[in-house]
A and B are shown apart, each in its own frame.
Chain A
């Protein structure tokens, strides 16, 4: 069973769509025979599953609710399609990935896959073992979509389903994508994945309206990729990978403000790049990525190849 989403409640969601259990639990202090859950349940004819989950009520008590009565938040994009395509005014999002701190924990990948319902076989974030040449030092290199400023994927898309926003993010409109996969051939960073089969999603997620800011729900026959989590940015939070990494590998921020943060350290972007010799991948192709890398010098962890042979 897929876990219910941690996804992106936007403001302006009608009250009745909140997780009923949690909300009403705050009002009811005990579970009597005519407790609100059963009433709500009979109204919508939901059968109790017998499986109880613990929830924290709004008054701070821990309560138990039958799992069947939980309802996820419905994704109602409070931001119009046009606004999603425009992006956030005045921003220019950048990411800095500190290679000296990465030890291939893949917490970023886990959090990302979970938040975006990425299929089991696929990953938006990959942590590559890289060794440029025989006698050079190996290191781990996490990759996301580079959100190129001259994005080859956007250039080739015939229907404008992949687009560049004013805040630098390259987004995908899965309601428009025709599934030609030209963008996949064009992306030199092999970052795009295609929904070959019907994605396995909880029905609640399936019923949501697609938002290019969360790239959810993924739709069969269309492409997906890392979206830089603009929904989190709108809430003033960091992308899932950034907050999931225990080693603070990912810095995310706004180039116009010249600040990036990994959640615990906040630094000047320009200084970080200058002092630590930041660079970008495949600069020679002219794609102008928005993701910068800090070289793996003075590594915090020795490179240990824990790969199973078939992975290598």
Chain B
């Protein structure tokens, strides 16, 4: 084990400076770009031919666009979890994770807004939302909180970056495009004591502000469903259920990102096994919490088996969606809990695999929240063509959805190419503090 405090600040800087893509990086980026292009092509077809190219029909009138939207909103909570909550509670080991989680939050919430426009039958009427907006609609609440969260998250990413910009300007090739970008973003930042103080204050204020806003976006998103009468959505628990699920997928996402960046940028000295250990414990706690809400959402109604709920619950437990449902519960929640509860399960590699399970499970979980309910209307599904009674996404929908996920990853990747994914200034300062304390 490297003696953490002994690394010099020059070494830290050179370790953490953004690096050019290697061979693997180039391949990764090209794959993402190709997936995005496929998504764009799918969307081009949808724009010209209408939503008829999707698998959605009158009963399943919401499909994977909406569940993907919920997924993006959910994973974006991680920014406020790690950055704000850990900052306010002074969790010492958060430093290398803050920027990773914040860029995940920004790109996820950005794509949440994009995907909701993709779902609209009339995207060219987007402005109607502002021209004719009616405050009583939960969609308008969502528009308001998501925009607020996006702005706060971008600031939350930007302000802590300021301290790194002089270092970046100094260490990048003079006159290069990168340096111009850094100068554009932060040449006014000289690192004076006054500037540090203002930034610190601003970050603190945002930390406090962003927590209620983050809770609000998940609660309001859950209300898109809970304000209707439908079986499976008509629940007073829905806000808390969504928030807890969002915390879980966010924490899982951070473990995955930690592992990938650690490998790709050789950050073993900064993102240590200790981080995986802590994050693993957090995932266990959050998964237990989410499981608790799932028991509430499924087993309590199942105990009563009201007529309207029955079709919905049975389609999950034993019917059309049972395979998916039980896989998500077992692989996406129970297995990660069991594995991560053991110290050896919290080693980077196993933690990473569990993180992947959590994230993939969370995506399908959102599908299971939307589709089975849509296919359990109060009046029977009747007098419609056979394909109206089922829902399976078409290739256009998959292309757009996968393209949006690739787009979010692309933003994260490009960000890591341009900026240090582990804050340089904060790391140096932290190490110096440790040294001083030791002396």
Contacts and interface: CB of A to CB of B under 8 A. Distances in A.
Interface of A: 121-123, 126-129, 143, 152, 155-161, 176-182, 184-186, 188-190, 192-198, 220-222, 282, 285, 310-311
A198 B46 CA distance: 12
B121 A178 contact: yes
Interface of B is mostly: loop
Contact of A194 (B58, B133, B382): B58
A182 B383 contact: no
B51 A178 contact: no
Given A159-B129, A159-B132, A178-B129, A185 B121 contact: no
B163 interface: no
Given A184-B61, A196-B57, A285-B229, A155 B384 contact: no
Interface of B: 49-52, 54, 56-59, 61-62, 119-122, 125-126, 128-129, 131-134, 136-140, 143, 224-225, 227-230, 374, 377-386, 388
B126 A311 contact: no
Nearest to B388: A121
Given A156-B139, A159-B133, A180 B228 contact: no
22 contacts: A121-B385, A158-B139, A158-B143, A159-B131, A159-B133, A161-B132, A177-B122, A177-B125, A178-B121, A178-B128, A179-B121, A180-B121, A182-B139, A185-B62, A186-B229, A188-B228, A188-B229, A190-B59, A194-B51, A194-B58, A221-B120, A310-B386
Given A128-B380, A185-B61, A194 B139 contact: no
Given A123-B383, A181-B61, A182-B224, A155 B137 contact: yes
Given A161-B132, A181-B61, 16 more contacts: A128-B383, A152-B229, A156-B137, A156-B228, A159-B128, A159-B134, A160-B132, A180-B119, A180-B139, A181-B119, A186-B228, A189-B378, A190-B377, A194-B57, A196-B56, A221-B121
Nearest to A193: B58
Nearest to B134: A160
A126 to B, nearest CB: 5
Contacts of B122: 177-179, 221-222
- Sorted from nearest, which 4 A-B pairs have the closest CB atoms? A179-B121, A221-B121, A197-B52, A158-B139
Contact of A184 (B58, B378, B383, B388): B58
Contacts of B56: 196
A157 B137 contact: yes
Q: Which of B122, B125, B126 is the most central at the interface, judged by chain A CB atoms within 10 Å of its CB?
A: B122
Contacts of A198: 49-50, 52
A161 B121 CA distance: 13
Given A197-B52, A221-B121, A181 B62 contact: yes
Nearest to B229: A188
B43 to A, nearest CB: 14
Contacts of A197: 49-50, 52
A288 to B, nearest CB: 14
A126 B52 CA distance: 22
